[in-house]
Chains A and B, each alone.
Chain A
Amino acid sequence: MSKSNTKQSSHLKRFSYTVDRAVEKPFNWQQMLRLLAYLKPYSKSYLPGAIIAMLVSTAVRLIVPILIGKVAIDIAVANKDTTLLTYLVIGISVLYLLSYVGNTLRIKWVNVLGQNVIYDLRKHLFSHVQRLSHRFFDSRSEGSILVRIMNDINSLQELFTNGIINLLMDIVMLTGIIVILIALSPKLALAIMVIIPLMFYISTKLRRNIRRSWQYTRIQQSRLNSHLNESIQGIRITQSFTQEKENTEFFEGVNQDNYDSFNDAVKKSAMFSPVVEMCNAIGTIILISYGAFLILQGDIQIGTFVTFAFFLGMFWEPISRLGQMYNQLLMAMAASERIFEFLDEQPNVKEIENPHVFNNMRGQIEFNQVQFSYDNERIALHDISLSVKEGETIALVGHTGSGKSSIANLISRFYDPTKGSVKIDDYDLREVELKSLRERISVVLQDTFIFSGNIMENIRFGRPEATDQEVIEAAKVVGADDFIARLANGYQTEVEERGSILSAGEKQLLSFARALLADPSILILDEATASIDTETEVKIQKALGRLLKGRTAIMIAHRLSTIREADNIFVLENGRILESGNHDELIALKGEYFDLVKSQFQMLDAI
């Protein structure tokens, strides 16, 4: 069997996957209180309701063993009193009914409570994230944000649903049992209770040890899954380069690691219940030897002995759960720390009080000696001054990293300049309401994002209140109507980002329709470089003309035809404007722009 000897092959290092490390943090009261604050809206309804329901059923479970042992056995049976026995049976039945009702309500309310808290917390976090600025998203991967909103919040679910109530229930139960036992027979109680610390030890330390090995198993498993996922997505590359065998070797290594970690974890887990049972066995032996002795001494009655036997079996559950709870709290600490880290994050781009609201925007833009840096290390824009008149189209030309996108980002105020100011219609952007600003500006990105939903909804994203008719109208104007009509369900066709239903060019047309529907005063357009077939390209060119009409436009342009028609062209390099002017002026200047145009065409002819 290959499982026993791990293969040592260079292929084991072929791929590397980052996996989440084990998550546990020391207990922190401040954080706990902050978490518990989310219970507050329910502190007068579901929370006390659930606690009362819990107390009722716990009380029943504590009372019945006493009734059976002390009353039924020691009195009714001992005295052959059938009437008392009958009353007792009726009484216990009623108690069980109460417990039934209590359980039903507890389960119901506890879940309503937990789900509401989780709902609130997740909504709070999500809404907060929506308000954060670009800078926040620049420095974090999509995955790490998703993990906080989904997994971290989910990991608090159990705590808020059953955790808190169970904690109370177990404490009540455990103290209840101990008090009752001591009241019935202090000697026997003390003798039996030696197993309690032992049980606590098992349920915390031993369980923790086991849980760690399961955590390790999960890490191995997520590595395995990452590789499976990647190998499916990259199967075409693998087959092209005939790396099937090599990948299989790698996989066997991962599979082996997974097997080994699993084996270790189940081995440890299998020890758990024997140890717990041995613990119980010790309790039983103490009970029968010392208990029987006490009865024969006349110290206790048989009924007390029986009651003890009942309660002996009830120790484990609360202790086990308390141990689990302890571990759960440590994990909740890690999750809540990460959640709070996000919640404490403030948007970099802030609104002032009583900002200017754009009801109308003329679309006149002015950059006044703007300096800008993304990370305070590298300066992306140096001393940029430019102005765009209402209705004008300007083109930004330059290599990757020359600062074209930074200029566009400042106009939408996704960032603030480090020096100087950006004004629209003579209002400094720091003094305007963000929503009204961005609603008047449409940005069409190179890689248009398609949300899952149908085409209609995707276009309507530009203006949610638009009617179907308006959506279709917009699609027609930009020439997207043709290909939409050809799709299986027309405007109702379901699309998604990763789906291959739409080509790059078609996505671009959709985003044009989206922008047109929004009817902005300023349009910022990052032209696509991705391959688009010529027919679609023609459509895009035509649509562009319609889209630009009557608006101020900032084009990050790649196509000469677009650039040539701009009112003003800015040639950028390393964050500085080298030249500006219209096409003819710049050609006449015989500077950078002239060289750029010339070299492009010479290149075409040279190959």
Chain B
Amino acid sequence: MDTFKRLKQYYWPYKKYFFISLFFLLFVTGITVVYPMVLQLTIDEVVIKNKYSLIPYISGFFLILMLIKGLSTYYHQYLGDLFGITVVYDLRDSLYKKLQVLSFKYYDNAKTGDLMSRLTADVEGFRFFLSVGFSELLRIVFLILFSLSVMFYYSIPLAIVTMAAMPFLTFVVLRFDKRVHPAFRNIRKSLGRLNTRVQENISGMHTVKSLSREDFEIDRFSNSNNNYRQDYLKTASIWSKYFPLMEFIGDFCAVVLLAYGGFLVIDNQLALGELVAFFSLVWYIMGPLMNLGFVVNQFSQAKASGERLIEILDAKEDVREKENAIETPIKGHVTFDNVTLTYTENDDHALKNITFDAPPGKTIGLIGATGSGKTSITQLITRFYEPEEGQVLLDNRPVDEYKLKTLRRYIGFVLQESFLFSTSIRENITYGCPDVSEEQIIDAAKRAQAHDFIMEMPKGYDTMLGERGMGLSGGQKQRIAIARAICINPSVLILDDATSAVDMETEFKIQKALKEVMDGRTSFIIAHRISSLKHADEILVLDEGEIVERGTHDFLVSNNGPYQHIFDIQYQDRKAIMGIVN
């Protein structure tokens, strides 16, 4: 119950919807059992005692009750649903806000698919439980209680006989439910695998066709296709085993009713109309009971869903703004003082004793193998992570003394993966600064060498990009990402492998343009190609989180260190070719 207690703040404010809905439920279930009573009255009082004058009263009374029932059903259902969707509105809102503030560290370990299934399936499961699940349980209880009362009122022995079937049915229902749910999960899983299989095949179609592997792919697909069929049929076979059985128990109950009830009527211990009423009443008990398993399962699923949601809501916010954090323009003087960083406890250091100073106007180049810590350095400046030891300073003040908004407002970041949003190119470029002028947008795009190809598109800057910026080449995406970073007019610009997919000529143009923009500001350039960072004022060569060599290109190139090694490899053919060219 802790789960429901923890989530109380979301549903308790709307409790009135729930309780009013329950109030109407009482009418709904109460009036349901009137129908058999009307049949009984018609047979026993009107027909057998020949009192047709009663009919208008019975009809009128029944009609009024049914109108009340109709209204009650409407409000019971609507308010129940309203309760669910209102609570879930708030819950979604909180989840979204929470997701916005969780740090990179959280996302490093989270999978998009998993988060998505929590935000969709689990939220939906929770809503369903609030709207339908809980009140369905009460409906079953009420309906059984009301029906039993009427039964006992008519005939105690017959009521007891009917009740005898209930434990059997309950047993079968619960057993069925226990078996069918894992089976359903299997169906979902194998459908998921089939989906992945097909998706992969389509995405990799070029590779498939190149290697002429169509038949192989059809085989693999048929395998998954067959697994799905088998899992489906397994579930169907559980279904075919239990469902007819449940119905049979109900039917059998009716047969017993006929035998014993018929005998009682013959014996004059029971009125005929009462027996007829029993036939309806018995289904008011059996029907809802068949639903019991489903409802019980709802409970445990809602609990599990709730727990998964709480995990998000309670996730630790690693990076928090200090209470007295300041807002002040940042000039862009970046200083690292003996900084050590570890991503997860007990893990190796991602960075060890990093120290450097980058006053405005300076360009720092970072080079090193994949995983050597280049990206980590830049992400500490924006406080995406917090150092374990040492200090990261901006304008001689620790970065955690600034408001996050202020800090990041002055730092333009071009991340390794140039993620673009599903909106127009214009909106993507102005993502960080919605209020800039048209000239500024075009200026940023021009500097990023993106203007020309944007203008070639049918709708220019208003061209819509699909999810994940589909339809653009890697190089084009990178250029829009660069324009996006320039557009916020940053004091510090960080290019993390930002031009890897553009050709050399374009890269050259971008670099020339950036040099102009970044005059008097601080830049960080991460690259594998020496040509991308040789103009830096200081180049840091990283290996396993440590600076192993530093200096200008001219110094490093003959320092007999790793930098020179990289240089030699990249420029091996330069000499040979240049010799001929010149």
Bound together, the chains give a CA A270 to CA B71 distance in angstroms of 10
Nearest CB of chain B from residue A499's CB, rounded to whole Å: 10
Chain B neighbourhood of A131, CB < 8 A = 214
Are B58 and A309 in contact, CB atoms less than 8 angstroms apart?
A: no
Chain A neighbourhood of B35, CB < 8 A = 284
B10 close to A (CB within 8 Å): no
Number of residue pairs spanning A and B whose beta carbons lie under 8 angstroms apart: 420
A142, A146, A292, most chain B CB atoms within 10 A: A292
Chain A neighbourhood of B221, CB < 8 A = 123, 126
Interface residues of B in 315-374 (CB under 8 A from A): 368-370
Q: Mark A482-511, 1 if CB is under 8 A from B, else 0.
A: 000000000000000100000101000000
Interface residues on B, range: 35 or more
Are A103 and B581 in contact, CB atoms less than 8 angstroms apart?
A: no
Chain B neighbourhood of A240, CB < 8 A = 382, 384, 408, 411, 413, 415, 432
Chain B neighbourhood of A246, CB < 8 A = 434
Are B47 and A599 in contact, CB atoms less than 8 angstroms apart?
A: no
Are A237 and B99 in contact, CB atoms less than 8 angstroms apart?
A: no
Interface residues of A in 233-266 (CB under 8 A from B): 233-248, 251-252, 255-256, 258-259, 262-263, 266
Chain B neighbourhood of A452, CB < 8 A = 196, 200
A535 close to B (CB within 8 Å): yes
Q: Which residue of B lies closest to A77 (CB)?
A: B265
Nearest CB of chain A from residue B258's CB, rounded to whole Å: 6
Q: Which residue of A lies closest to B382 (CB)?
A: A240
Which of A29-37, A110-118, A195-203 faces chain B? A110-118
A600 close to B (CB within 8 Å): yes
B560 close to A (CB within 8 Å): no
Are B577 and A599 in contact, CB atoms less than 8 angstroms apart?
A: no
Partner of B233, one of A112, A442, A560: A112
Bound together, the chains give a CA A118 to CA B231 distance in angstroms of 14
Nearest CB of chain A from residue B65's CB, rounded to whole Å: 9
Interface of A is mostly: helix
Are A310 and B279 in contact, CB atoms less than 8 angstroms apart?
A: yes
A604 close to B (CB within 8 Å): yes
Are A232 and B99 in contact, CB atoms less than 8 angstroms apart?
A: yes
Partner of B272, one of A77, A119, A262, A288: A77
Interface size on A, residues (CB 8 A): 163
Bound together, the chains give a CA A89 to CA B260 distance in angstroms of 10
B96 close to A (CB within 8 Å): yes
Bound together, the chains give a CA A97 to CA B249 distance in angstroms of 10
Bound together, the chains give a CA A112 to CA B566 distance in angstroms of 63
A466 close to B (CB within 8 Å): no
Are A86 and B259 in contact, CB atoms less than 8 angstroms apart?
A: yes
Chain B neighbourhood of A93, CB < 8 A = 252, 255
B459 close to A (CB within 8 Å): no
Are B574 and A255 in contact, CB atoms less than 8 angstroms apart?
A: no
Q: Mark A434-448, 1 if CB is under 8 A from B, else 0.
A: 110111011101011
Bound together, the chains give a CA A251 to CA B198 distance in angstroms of 31
Are A234 and B500 in contact, CB atoms less than 8 angstroms apart?
A: no
Are B218 and A130 in contact, CB atoms less than 8 angstroms apart?
A: yes
Are B47 and A435 in contact, CB atoms less than 8 angstroms apart?
A: no
Nearest CB of chain B from residue A411's CB, rounded to whole Å: 11
A104 close to B (CB within 8 Å): yes
Bound together, the chains give a CA A464 to CA B217 distance in angstroms of 11
Bound together, the chains give a CA A481 to CA B232 distance in angstroms of 41
Chain A neighbourhood of B92, CB < 8 A = 224, 255
Are B259 and A601 in contact, CB atoms less than 8 angstroms apart?
A: no
Chain B neighbourhood of A126, CB < 8 A = 198, 201, 218, 221, 225
Are A270 and B74 in contact, CB atoms less than 8 angstroms apart?
A: yes
Nearest CB of chain A from residue B437's CB, rounded to whole Å: 15
- Beyond A464-B216, A597-B581, is A400–B78 a contact (Cβ under 8 Å)? no
Interface residues of B in 552-582 (CB under 8 A from A): 566, 569-570, 572-574, 576-578, 580-581
A150 close to B (CB within 8 Å): yes
Are A266 and B85 in contact, CB atoms less than 8 angstroms apart?
A: yes
Are B204 and A531 in contact, CB atoms less than 8 angstroms apart?
A: no
- Beyond A119-B229, A267-B78, A451-B200, is A76–B573 a contact (Cβ under 8 Å)? no
A179 close to B (CB within 8 Å): no
B313 close to A (CB within 8 Å): no
A141 close to B (CB within 8 Å): yes
Are A607 and B511 in contact, CB atoms less than 8 angstroms apart?
A: yes
Nearest CB of chain A from residue B582's CB, rounded to whole Å: 9
B293 close to A (CB within 8 Å): no
Bound together, the chains give a CA A85 to CA B263 distance in angstroms of 8
Are A529 and B503 in contact, CB atoms less than 8 angstroms apart?
A: yes
B42 close to A (CB within 8 Å): yes
Interface residues of B in 200-245 (CB under 8 A from A): 200-214, 216-218, 221-222, 225-226, 228-229, 232-233, 236-237, 239-241, 243-245
Chain A neighbourhood of B577, CB < 8 A = 560, 564, 597, 601
B281 close to A (CB within 8 Å): no
Chain A neighbourhood of B442, CB < 8 A = none
Closest 6 CB pairs of A and B: A531-B500, A241-B432, A111-B236, A274-B70, A103-B244, A107-B240
23 A-B residue pairs with Cβ-Cβ distance under 8 Å, sorted by A, are: A15-B423, A77-B272, A96-B252, A112-B233, A112-B236, A119-B225, A127-B218, A130-B214, A145-B202, A236-B107, A266-B131, A269-B77, A277-B66, A284-B35, A296-B46, A305-B43, A309-B39, A309-B276, A310-B279, A439-B212, A442-B211, A564-B577, A584-B580
Question: 18 more A-B contacts (CB under 8 A) besides A242-B408, A266-B131, A607-B512?
Answer: A76-B262, A93-B255, A100-B251, A115-B236, A142-B199, A150-B195, A228-B119, A239-B104, A240-B411, A251-B96, A256-B89, A266-B82, A289-B56, A306-B276, A445-B206, A518-B211, A534-B369, A560-B573
